Amino acid sequence: MNSDRIEGNWKQLKGKVKEQWGKLTDDELDVIEGRREQLAGRIQERYGVAREEAERQVQDWEKRLNR
């Protein structure tokens, strides 16, 4: 699933994001609005991982959505 489709389907995907990254709040997800860079940044903050690791997690998550 590409970034445009994620942004367009964000309301439906928020539940899947919460399953993957449960520390993210609903308010944070509302602010992110499907923007990939924002999601990676919040993961980095909440989970204390490097930017590269957060990006990798988002990429892996996107790949699983495409199955």
Domain tally for the chain?
1
Q: What is the CATH number of the domain that holds 58?
A: 1.10.1470.10
Of 4 and 27, the one with more pLDDT = 27
User: What is the Cα–Cα distance from 57 to 18, expressed in whole angstroms?
Assistant: 14
The pLDDT of residue 44: 97
User: What is the Cα–Cα distance from 6 to 36, expressed in whole angstroms?
Assistant: 8
pTM, two decimals, is: 0.86
Q: What is the mean pLDDT of residues 15-26?
A: 95
Domain that holds residue 23: 3-65
pLDDT in tens, 28-42: 999 999 899 999 999
Residue type, 48: G
The answer to whether the CB of 32 falls within 8 A of the CB of 45 is no
The pLDDT of residue 2: 64
